[in-house]
Amino acid sequence: MANQKGGVGKTTTVQALGAAAAELGLRSLVVDLDPQACLTYSLGFDPDGLDRSLNDVFLGQAPVAEVRRTVPGVPGLDVLPAAIELAGAEVHLLTRTGREHVLARALVPVLDQYDVVLVDCPPSLSVLTVNGLTAATGVVIPLQCESLSFRGVGQLLETIEDVRTFVNPTLVVRGVIATMFDDRTRHARHVLEEVGRRYELPVLQPPVRKSIRFAEAPAVGKSILQHAPGSAGAVAYRELARQLTGSAVATATSAATAT
The model carries a pTM of 0.91
CATH of the domain at 186: 3.40.50.300
Within a domain: residue 2? no
How many domains are there within the chain? Answer: 1
Q: What residues make up the domain containing 36? A: 10-246
Within a domain: residue 215? yes
Within a domain: residue 1? no
How many CA atoms does the CB half-sphere of 58 hold within 13 Å? 32
DSSP string, 158-204: HHHHHHHHHT-TT-EEEEEEEESB-TTSHHHHHHHHHHHHHH---EE
Q: Contact, 28 vs 41, CB < 8 A?
A: no
Within a domain: residue 251? no
* pLDDT of the residue at 257: 47
Residue ranges for the chain with pLDDT beneath 70: 147-150, 247-259
* pLDDT of the residue at 196: 81
Within a domain: residue 78? yes
Asked if residue 206 has a cis previous peptide bond (ω within 30° of 0), the answer is yes
Within a domain: residue 66? yes
Within a domain: residue 4? no
Within a domain: residue 160? yes
DSSP string, 148-168: HHHHHHHHHHHHHHHHHHHT-
